[in-house]
Amino acid sequence: MAFAMRGRIIYTCGVRAIRCQASDRIKNLPNRKTARPLPPLDYIVAFEAAAKSMSFAGASEQLHISESAISRKVRLLEQHFGRTFFLRGSRSIKLTQQGQHFLAKVSPALENLRSASEELLEVPANKPVVLAATNSVASLWLTPRLHEFRKSNPHLRIMLVSSDNDEECLGESVDITILRGSGNWPEYNSSQLFGETVFPVCSPEFLSANPECTDIANLPNLPLIEVASDHAEWMNWKTWLSHLGFRASGYDQPIFFNTYPLSIQAAVDGAGVALGWGHLVDRLLESGQLVRPCADARVRTSDGYYLLVPHNCKPSPARDEVVKWLLELSAKRVRYGEAVT
């Protein structure tokens, strides 16, 4: 049907038909329940505290808000659900059956929320695992291997602390420590990574220029690279030679270094003969940058390098992965066997 209005034709049937079709579609839509919004979390927390202490006053002390605030939050929670959770007396409250049921449901959920919150607060996102080690271990053993670990574990971060100060390596912020010793650290779980085997090393060029260094008896007459250490137990040339029955007095000491990695770099550069610690210099031996001029001559002590984790440390999957990696490296190490001690 159509009618004219000031030169325009209005089609009413089409409009009526469209409206009817739209109305039919709305009527035919499935009946969906609208999800009712959750009550504020602080209402539920106040309810739980009151239910567990059976007192608005007790909940007030626990949550550090006024008793009237607790009562108001619980009342608003009851109004939200249209239920009564407490029977209120003049000086006491008691859970209704509905209140008991609600408490049994929400209490575990709140505990899970608290636990998740504490974990996030205690372990910041992407917090690095702090790994402390002596200068020698950090520079010569760990650093060359970190790249491969990072490639296999891109989700983990390691902060490497290098120090020859034991107290610094065992600081409170440190998750894992590698130190030289006997393995006796009372407050730590210790696992030996490798023992202590010591032997002379030098560059191939130095050996070619000084072939007499293959004889231990000639070593005191050659430039021997020494490390000045505050650790009295650190092995020096005098100690090493005496272990093998050679005189250790009057030998030439042209260069002293205060850290072991510097002494090894000096040996690589051809400055003289240094004492090489097995495992710490393995990669340099494998690459040919260093050689052992005295063949298998070596001294093995009863000490070693140990992986330390504090007894009272909190669970940390990231730390556990790093510990597993270090122990796997240890299992693949070169075995030097027994030697003169």
DSSP string, 220-238: GGS-B-EE--S-TTS--HH
Q: In this model, does residue 230 exceed pLDDT 60?
A: yes
User: What is d(CA 180, CA 194) in angstroms, rounded to the nearest whole number?
Assistant: 10
Q: In this model, does residue 112 exceed pLDDT 80?
A: yes
Segment 76-81 shows an average pLDDT of: 94
pTM attached to this predicted model: 0.63
Give the chain's mean pLDDT: 86
Q: In this model, does residue 312 exceed pLDDT 90?
A: no
Segment 181-202 shows an average pLDDT of: 94
- Look up residue 332 and give its two tokens: 């693949």
Q: May I ask the CATH architecture of the domain 130-331?
A: 3-Layer(aba) Sandwich (3.40)
User: Looking at residue 116, what is its pLDDT?
Assistant: 86
Which are the contacts of 85, defined by CB distance < 8 A and separation ≥ 6?
47, 51, 74, 77, 78, 95, 96, 98, 99, 102
Domain boundaries, the chain: 41-122, 130-331
Q: In this model, does residue 19 exceed pLDDT 70?
A: no
User: Looking at residue 42, what is its pLDDT?
Assistant: 93
Q: In this model, does residue 3 exceed pLDDT 90?
A: no
User: Looking at residue 122, what is its pLDDT?
Assistant: 65
H or E element at residue 180: strand 176-181
In this predicted structure, which of 17-31, 215-229, 297-311 has the lowest mean pLDDT? 17-31
User: Looking at residue 333, what is its pLDDT?
Assistant: 86
pLDDT grade for 87, boundaries at 50, 70 and 90 = very high
User: Is residue 289 classed exposed, middle or buried when 0-12, 13-18 and 19+ CB atoms within 10 A define those classes?
Assistant: middle
pLDDT grade for 252, boundaries at 50, 70 and 90 = low
User: pLDDT digits over 269-284, tens only?
Assistant: 999 999 999 999 999 9
Segment 19-25 shows an average pLDDT of: 44
- Look up residue 122 and give its two tokens: 């205690």
Q: In this model, does residue 14 exceed pLDDT 50?
A: no
User: Looking at residue 334, what is its pLDDT?
Assistant: 82
Q: In this model, does residue 49 exceed pLDDT 60?
A: yes
Q: May I ask the CATH architecture of the domain 41-122?
A: Orthogonal Bundle (1.10)
Q: In this model, does residue 299 exceed pLDDT 90?
A: yes
Helices (H), the chain: 12-28, 41-53, 56-63, 67-81, 97-122, 135-136, 143-152, 166-169, 204-209, 237-243, 260-268, 282-287, 317-331
